[in-house]
Amino acid sequence: MDQFTLNLLVVGGTFALYIGIAIWARAGTTAEFYAAGQGVHPVTNGMATAADWMSAASFISMAGLIAFVGYDNSTYLMGWTGGYVLLALLLAPYLRKFGKFTVPGFIGDRFYGQSARMTAVVCLLVISITYVIGQMTGAGVAFSRFLEVSSDTGLFIAAGVVFCYAVLGGMKGITYTQVAQYVVLIIAYTIPAIFISLQLTGNPIPALGLFSTETASGMPLLDRLDQIVTDLGFNSYTGHHQSTLDMVLFTMSLMIGTAGLPHVIIRFFTVPKVSDARWSAGWALVFIALLYLTAPAVGSMARLNLMTTIYPAGAQEEPILYDERPDWMTNWETTGLLTFNDINGDGRIQFYGTQNPEFAATAEERGWQGSELTVNNDILVLANPEIANLPGWVVALIAAGGLAAALSTAAGLLLAISSAVSHDLIKGAVNPKISEKGELLAARISMAVAIAVATWLGLNPPGFAAQTVALAFGLAAATIFPALMMGIFSKRINKQGAVAGMISGLVFTTIYIFVYKGWFFIPGTNMLPDNAANWVFGISPLSIGSIGAVINFAVAFAVSRVTAPPPQDVQDLVESIRVPRGAAAAHVH
């Protein structure tokens, strides 16, 4: 059986499974559409949450980022997993106890006004729409490579599949579909990793293989990788090369951004009890850890395989001829994500770095005039089975896994958008007397419109599409997370403070990212896009969400201090959310 047919069977089989589950778990009420009837078991919800969270960014991009940067990009691992600890300890149980379906629902009631609710709706829509662009685009890329269709056609297929199970099933259908998607993506991620770890180190556990000896050289794998990349002018793989301040702020931004992502938070409204919300977060961490403990090994081994493919005799010898390149490179060249430009016309693939000044003289002696191979970070995980010459069924499996990761998160984001529009905007402000049947119809129409918008943005991505995930995290960190934290843990924060804080965080973070990413230019500033020399105190646009959060907190507290405190019933509400029943009596005695 040829590879295309195998890909088609495996991917088509998983899609049939997702749609079948959606039909079986079709939502019949608003409670089922928004929160799966609040009857999901914590283990099931933990698995669904893991799939909801582990998007194309985790499945496809994270290992690629680690592969090409090394130690410094371990911030992604620390930030994203640390965010779940914050979510489990500080938000999930309290939000579940409050009993609302949506994040704007909590903010609107806690800050007793439509202004707070509508501000939260705007923040949620901006965060979710920017995030979903990347998922739809990622699905299009995976389709274009493995099903040999255009990326536009791939986007339409992805939109059709999501439409079937998200619009029909709502949160109930999405939950059980995400459980299936988690199983697909974790198997797809770990099986190639096990094969490659065995090939390189003889150890079947990738996380342990990372610290084992490479069989071919007899050196520790990381030492061997450090040797070959530094010999070719790249930064050392295990060294620390970025600003420590920026690294800390970026990790913090990812952590609080994770804890403030609306599509993740709404998953904790689906469990029966408050204690189940905390258990769900714990189980989600377990399921996420299976992939996140494997990702550093996947990145390191993929980088080593890539380098030794191009330099099979070692860094001191000539690279391979372009005409003798392996099939996997030819396959990926058709997508445009891997390109070769023979600058010096010798027919060989020179691939080297410029971070080591001493290597420049060596490159000049060899007659090299610049690195000739461009490899997109995102292809490494998807190309890994082909690079390692694994069986065709493993290649098909990785395609299904990448699509499962992209579509599971897209569904969660689209549900968050739909809930905000139908429940918080239409029912909460426009038509409070709408019937349950009418609200359910509005929710489904909102979901369909959101899918259409996401597909259009995927077909015509704005200039900042590649950074949409960073923008989404920064905005979530600077807007939603502080509002939720203050809403739960401070009785003094009032609606004026909350609204002012969210708007301040939103405006500051957006402007900083847009200016320093070069998406608009302020006359007279002479700023260069994304240039570290121009960043304020060396803080990158990817890290600015943590500063936006500080501004949000500061503005909210300052405004609340000079305006009237919240009504007593709201303060009592905060106390009831935060303090377990019976705690006050126990304290008195």
* Residue-range domains of the chain with CATH: 3-301+387-580 (1.20.1730.10)
What is the per-residue pLDDT for 461? 61
What is the per-residue pLDDT for 401? 86
- At 403-425, the pLDDT tens digits run 888 778 888 888 888 888 888 88
Q: Average the pLDDT over 503-521 and give the result.
A: 79
CB 409 within 8 A of CB 56: yes
Please measure the distance between the N-terminal and C-terminal CA atoms of the chain and give it in whole angstroms: 75
Q: What percent of the chain has pLDDT over 90?
A: 24
pLDDT score of 499 more than 90: yes
In this predicted model, which residue has the larger pLDDT, 143 or 251?
Answer: 251
Q: Average the pLDDT over 455-475 and give the result.
A: 67
Q: Average the pLDDT over 174-189 and give the result.
A: 87
Q: How confident is the model at residue 531 (pLDDT cuts 50, 70, 90)?
A: low
Q: Average the pLDDT over 266-277 and give the result.
A: 82
DSSP 584: H
CB 519 within 8 A of CB 466: no
pLDDT score of 507 more than 90: yes
Q: How confident is the model at residue 206 (pLDDT cuts 50, 70, 90)?
A: very high
Q: Average the pLDDT over 458-468 and give the result.
A: 56
Instruction: Please state, as a whole number, how many other Cβ atoms lie within 10 Å of the Cβ of residue 500.
Output: 19
Q: Average the pLDDT over 160-177 and give the result.
A: 77
Exposed e or buried b per residue across 514-536, where buried means at least 16 C-beta atoms within 10 angstroms of its C-beta: bbbbebeeeeeeeeeeeeeeebe
pLDDT score of 583 more than 60: no
What is the per-residue pLDDT for 227? 92
Q: Average the pLDDT over 164-186 and give the result.
A: 81
What is the per-residue pLDDT for 556? 97
What is the per-residue pLDDT for 466? 44
What is the per-residue pLDDT for 412? 81
DSSP secondary structure of 73-104: GGHHHHHHHHHHHHIIIIIHHHHHHHT-SSHH
CB 101 within 8 A of CB 270: no
Q: Average the pLDDT over 472-500 and give the result.
A: 93
What is the per-residue pLDDT for 297? 93
Instruction: Please state, as a whole number, how many other Cβ atoms lie within 10 Å of the Cβ of residue 466.
Output: 13
What is the per-residue pLDDT for 587? 37
In this predicted model, which residue has the larger pLDDT, 566 or 158?
Answer: 566
What is the per-residue pLDDT for 532? 63
What is the per-residue pLDDT for 468? 61
What is the per-residue pLDDT for 579? 67
Q: Average the pLDDT over 201-229 and give the result.
A: 93
Find the range with the poorest average confidence among 40-44, 81-85, 326-330, 475-479: 81-85
The distance between the two most distant Cα atoms of the chain, rounded to a whole number of Å, is 86
**Nearest residue to 92 via CA among 345, 338, 278:** 278
pLDDT score of 165 more than 80: no
What is the per-residue pLDDT for 518? 60
- At 188-201, the pLDDT tens digits run 899 989 999 999 99
